[in-house]
Every structure is written in C-alpha cells, then in structure tokens.
Structure 1
Amino acid sequence: MQGSAPQTFTIAEFLKWNDDDELNLNPIFQRGPVWAGPARSYLIDSIIRGYPIPKLLLRTSIDRDTRRTVRDVVDGQQRLRTIIEFAAGKFALTSKAGEYRGYRYSDLSNEEKDDFLAYKLTCEQLINASDDDVLEVFLRINSYAVPVNGPELRNARFDTDFSSHVKQLAHTIRHIWDLGTISPRERVRMVDHSTVAELLGYLINGVTEGADANITKLYEQQMTTPADKLPSETEFVDIMTTVEELLQGFKGEPIVTRPQFLMLCAAVMYAKEKLPAGRLDFSEVAPPEEMLQDRTKIVKAIGDLNTAIETPAEDLDPRALPFIEARSSSQRMSSRQPRFEYFCHALAGKSFYDL
C-alpha cells in the first residue's frame, strides 16, 4: 500500500470531483450520514471564519486504461458531505453559526463565497490501496478515537438559546480558567461549557447535584427558554469577576480546582442575592449584607481553607475537618452543603478558625 504526504485541495476541487463522479462518499467501510444540524453548522461556520478543520483521508485509485481518478473517502465523509450539501443550498445554518444563522450558501457575499470555495482541505491519500488495506486503516483510525463525553454530546444535540448562551459565556470568561480550574485539554473536551451551564443552572434553579445527567436535564428544561429570560451576560460576568478577583493569588492551588470553584461561585451568588435556595440550606450562613465587605479578610480566609486542603490529616485543625471530608463526593449535596457554608463564612471575612 502506497501512501502520500499530506496535501491540500480547495473546496472547489472537491465540488468538481463530486460533480464528475470522481468522489465516493459511501465506500463499503463508511457509515451513513448521521450529523445533526448543529454539528453541520459549526463545521461550515469554522470554514467561513477560516479556522482549520481535521484532515481527510482518501483512497485514490487510478484506472490506467481510462486515466480516471476516483477518490474513496476513508475518513471525513460527514465533513465532506456537509460541505457539498451546503454548497448545493440544501440546508441553512443554525445558531451554532452565530451571525450566519439562517444563511444558505446563496446568502453569502461574493467575497465570502470566494473564500469558501478557496478554503484548503488537508488530505492524505492511499494510492491504489486494496479494500482490505483500507478497511484496516479505517478500523485503526476509529480505534484511536476518544469516546464522546457529555459536554460534546450536548453540544451536538442542543441548538437552543440556552446552548448558545453557554457557548458565548464560556468564550467571554475563558481567561478565568487560567487560574487552574479547567485545563486546556479539558477545554478541548468542552468541560468549560459544562461548567458554565452548571453555574447558569445555579442562577436559575439554585444548587443541585452535579452529575452529568443533571446538566443534560438542565439543557432539556431550558430548550424553549428565550434568550431574554436567561440570566444576563452582565449578571454572570459580574459574579465571575468577583470570584476571579478573590482567587487571583491562588493560581494553580487546590482551592481553585473545579469542585471548590463551583461552591465559591455559589457563595458569591448568594452574597449578591442572586442564588435561589435550590437544595441548599441557608440557615447556617450569614445574611448576604454581611458578606463581601473586607477583601483582605476574605482572601485570608480562603487562603486558610487552601492551606487546610494541603495539610496532612494528622496535623489538620478539627474545625476544618468537615470541609476536607466534603471533598470525597464533590457532586453530591451532602458534600456541597458544608463547602458552601465554609465559603460563605469566608465571604463574611471569617476564617474557619473562628468557627
């Protein structure tokens, strides 16, 4: 089997190959078209904006008698089918495409059409490979694939005002993750979207358990909620800015990890009187008007909690024990309640040493 180095071909070239029956989107080893509207729109939006997309793999067969070249798509069938069908005007873009929502190919400006047709797709070719060789390559490619996680499934499934709001807010506050709350690798897997969705859920319903199924349920509950009925970007960014300011000196420390971060956010929402009770009990925490008064004391109190996380069990102050023990099941309410109370205590400017 002979392979080739990566090459680039324009979308216009692929469209011509398809028109000339020199492109086979349905070889025996490929799946049928399964992409939903949001995924198709996100791909086209990436192309229109000039962002790169994954490379394609083709099996290129050359007939020495007819001198015709036929290209079987080994990997990338759904991407190419989406591109071809969009160029043919067969579907309109959804809200995943931002301001291009509702656009068909014919709605693009002449310059945008030119850029679309000139967009270069990176390909590798298997030259005159046998069906057995191609099937082996296809199986190997798919065996390397990382299983789709919950955030990625929600991104593909939901195309609503809520999902668009999550996407926009995740982009707006992306610098906050540099504290160490969400790693770059996790952002690639859209964990930042899941985190933003959960925080929006706090503002809508209050704090509940944080299992992935609960977040999916939130997306389902908000399917018909219009954008103007969701927590505003101004409100959300104000809360996140306060959290970021309080954690600025703790970059990379245990206190900024996602479970602690979420409950600190909930405490700040409570302090700003933006948090419905949900499944939390507010009876053991100070009233909001006593919170967020002395930043120096608050940062010290958060620092004490951070130190407690790093302290060996035998040296731990007993007054910090409920906070430390609550980390063992970070998504359950039995864990979230005590951590929420400790963070509220800190926002009132009191260390756990004052308990």
Structure 2
Amino acid sequence: MTSEGTQTAPDVVEDVFEGMATGIEVEDSSSVEEVIHRPWNPEQVRVTTSVFSLRNILDLIDERSLELAPDFQRGQVWRTDQKSLLVESLLLQIPLPAFYFAEDSDGAFRVVDGVRRLSTLYDFVRGSDPAFRLQGVEYLKDVEGLRFQDLAVQLQRRINNTQLVINVIDPGTPPEVMYDIFKRINTGGTPLNAQEIRHCMSRPRSRDILKRMTHTDAFAKATNGLTDHIRMNDREMALRFAAFWLLGMDAYMENPVMEAFLMDATRLLDDPEAASDAKVQELESAFEAAMTSAYLIFGEHTFRKWPHGASGRSPINRALFETWSIAVTGYSAQDLAARREDIVAAARHRMTTDVDYLNAITSSTADRRRVAYRFEAAAEDVRAGL
C-alpha cells in the first residue's frame, strides 16, 4: 500500500573512502533476520596454526598453490613508504602479525587475511614491481633506495628466512563460518567491506564472471563509469543481480540474510556443475541487456533516487540497482522505449510519495519485507503504460 501525501525523503548520503566520494549511496542493510540469525556451532571452527618461512610462501605463490586473490583493487593503495616499512620490519626481525589462509579441498590455499602484506613482499623479493625501491625507512638508512637484488646477501637471506605464523582454515569449515572468521580477524587498517571479503574467499571462476559483467560498455554507461570501483561495489552489484537472477526471490525469503544469499550465489558461480558455462553466458547476456534497458529508461539517473523536485543527480543506490536491473529483464528495448515516459513518471511518483518504498531502498534494506516490497514496486512500475 502506498502512503500518499507530502513525505520527507530520507537523506541521501554518499559513501566516502579515504576522503573521496565513491559515487555510491551509503546503505543500511541491517535487518531483524540478520540480528537473530542463529549463530554457527563453535565446534565447526577448524583452524590450525603452522610456521612457514617467507621463501616457502613465495614458492607456493610461484607454484600457484597459494592464491593472492588477483585483481583486488584495494591491494594497490599502499604507498611506497608503507611498503618499505613492512620490508624494514623483516630486516629488523620484528615478527609480523599472523596470516590467515583458507585451504581448498584440493590442497591449494587462498589468502583471506594478509593479502596486501604478502603482495608487497612478493613484489619486492621477486622483483615483479621494478619501481619498488625502499623509501622512507626509519632505522636502516643504508638500504634507502635499494631493491631486493641490491641488498647484501645476508640481508636477502634474512628476509627469505623470516618465519611467518599462518593460521589455516580447514577445508571442512562451512563457508558461512569461514566468512564470519574473516570478518572477525579483518581489523587492521581500513577494514574490508563485504564484497572485498567475498572476493578474497572466492575462486577465480566467480571473480572472472563478475569482472566480465562489469567490464561492458553497457554497465559503464548505466553506472557512469563505475567499473573497477575502489571498494568493489561494481562487483557487488553484479553479484546481486546474479543472485536474484539465478536463485530467485523464494531462495532469499527462505533465508533473508543478504550476506549469506550473496555467498550462496558466489559458490554457485564458482561451481561449473551448478552453473554451467552456457548458463553463465545467459546470465551475462541478461545482465548486459538489463544495463542497456535501465539506461534507456532513466538515462543519467539510472539506479539513483530521482523524486520530483530533486536537484542534481544522486549517487547510485544499490537497492535500486538490484530491483530495477531485475525488473527490466524480459522486456524488449523497443517496448521499454515506447513506454519510457510512463515508466519514469510512475517511478518518480513512487519515489516522491511512497514513504514505505523510500524506506525499503534506504534503511534495513536486507529486511525480507522491504526486499519484497521494492521488487514488487519496480515490477509494477515497469508495467506502466501497458
């Protein structure tokens, strides 16, 4: 039911990262279901502790037995002086905090905590970043400006022989438990957000799928160039579409916890038996068509709040993204273009007068009733003019 009359729309707040606007509206995804969601059994936590030399770890990376979650944008934000201080810590024989690896059923490992530290050490020791020279060290001034190969042999040996404490999450640990472990240990620096955690936990197949989905002209146009977003919000939005497109609303209603729902979709995309190459191709085609159709209707305001009287353009709203990208699927571009004015009028009227709808796309957005309401609303508005 629509609440008619003059409404006070919730404030639109844009997310900020390291002092820069991200182009994405801040989302309050909390819900009662997530608060009361039954906790996992502590006996399901299976973590063992081992000690490896840095040389052993780097060899595992070279052998592709240890994955550093490539294409992780946040891994590139450390400054040279921050990287140099990490290397200097090894030279000073200062123990590093423990790392967390997740072991797969095939015996391979993925880094779930410590990606940036290991990436930095790998780049320095293996010389994969030729421009990386030690700069801004605090104590060992003699190594200022040097690369690994320029260091004295005894210093090279000291780095290679550094002992690292590794906590290994057993492959038998349930995914939701592993996810929660990651959230609990993810406290250093700027904490990773949910999609960055999923990226580190996932396999290359799902990462490649989400990358392809967000590296199309249609997605870039609909989101005003959101591709390769610094906080991976582009990948999260593509994953939300994939989750609702593949699993459906009924699956969400059975377990209305957004993080768990998106993890289920990630595991599905990682499994070629559960999501065949043909199905993935169909998904990618549907997503690209949805981006084209949504932009055809809303133009520069695609996936953004656009009530009557609004000035300027709001940041992208993730709840609007998931609902409207799904809502336009199944309609031809020709049909949508013919009814564009009616659809826009219906959507803007709702954004202006329907306080329940505004709440559903602003706060407690993972609540099952609000998820259902905004999907129903978008489905109704996209039929305007029929």
Structure 1 partner of 2:266: 219
Counterpart in the other structure of 1:259? 319
Structure whose alpha-carbon radius of gyration is higher = 1
The answer as to 2:371 corresponding to 1:329 is: no
- Cα distance in 2 for residues equivalent to 1:227 and 1:331: 30
Question: Does residue 79 of structure 1 match 2:139?
Answer: no
**Are the counterparts in 1 of residues 222 and 299 from structure 2 also a CA contact under 8 Å?**
no
Cα drift, residue 160 of structure 1:
3.4
Shift in alpha-carbon separation, 1:118–1:326, aligned structure 2, 3 A: closer
**Distance change in 2, residues 1:190/1:249 (3 Å):** closer
Corresponding residue of 2:238: 196
Q: CA deviation at 1:254?
A: 2.1
Q: Normalising to structure 1: TM-score of the pair?
A: 0.54
Q: TM-score, normalised by structure 2?
A: 0.50
2-structure distance, mates of 1:40, 1:206? 28
Structure 2 CA distance, aligned partners of 1:187 and 1:213? 22
For structure 1, list consecutive stretches of 5 or more residues without a partner in the other structure: 1-24, 62-69, 88-115, 130-141, 273-288, 309-319
Assess if the C-alpha contact under 8 Å between 2:222 and 2:302 holds in 1.
no
**2:195 aligns to what?**
151
| Corresponding residue for residue 295 of structure 2 | 244
For residue 350 of structure 2, what is the aligned residue in structure 1?
A: 305
- 1:217–1:148 Cα change, 3 Å: same
Tell me which residue corresponds to 1:58.
85
CA distance in 2, matches of 1:164, 1:341: 31
Higher deviation after alignment, 257-266 or 221-230 = 221-230
Change (3 A) 1:74 1:124: farther
The sequence identity of aligned pairs, in percent, is 14
CA RMSD between the two structures: 4.4
Match of 1:228 in 2: 278
Cα distance, 1:161 vs structure 2: 2.0
Distance in 1 separating the partners of 2:245 and 2:369: 20
> 1:338, CA displacement in angstroms?
2.3
1:71-127 deviation digits (Å, cap 9, x = unpaired): 76899751244336767xxxxxxxxxxxxxxxxxxxxxxxxxxxx574445632112
2:124 & 2:130 partners in 1: Cα distance? 14
| Cα separation, 2, equivalents of 1:291 and 1:213 | 33
**Which protein, 1 or 2, shows the higher relative CO under an 8 Å CA cutoff with sep ≥ 6?**
2
Give the whole-Å Cα distance in 1 for the aligned partners of 2:77 and 2:369.
44
Which structure has the highest helix share of the two? 1
- Give the distance between the partners of 2:87 and 2:375, measured in 1 at CA: 60
Partner AA of 2:138 in structure 1: L
**Displacement of 1:188:** 1.6
* In 1: Cα distance, 2:375 partner to 2:317 partner: 15
Q: Give the match for residue 275 of structure 1.
A: none
1:347 aligned to 2:382?
yes
Of 195, 209, 227, which aligns to 1:165? 209
Residue-pair matches, total: 241
CA contact (8 A) 1:161 1:223 kept: yes
Distance 1:40 1:269, change over 3 A: closer
Tell me the amino acid that sits aligned with residue 222 of structure 2. Answer: I
Contact kept, 8 Å, 1:151 with 1:190, in 2: the verdict is yes
In the TM superposition, residue 215 of structure 1 has moved relative to its aligned partner by 0.5
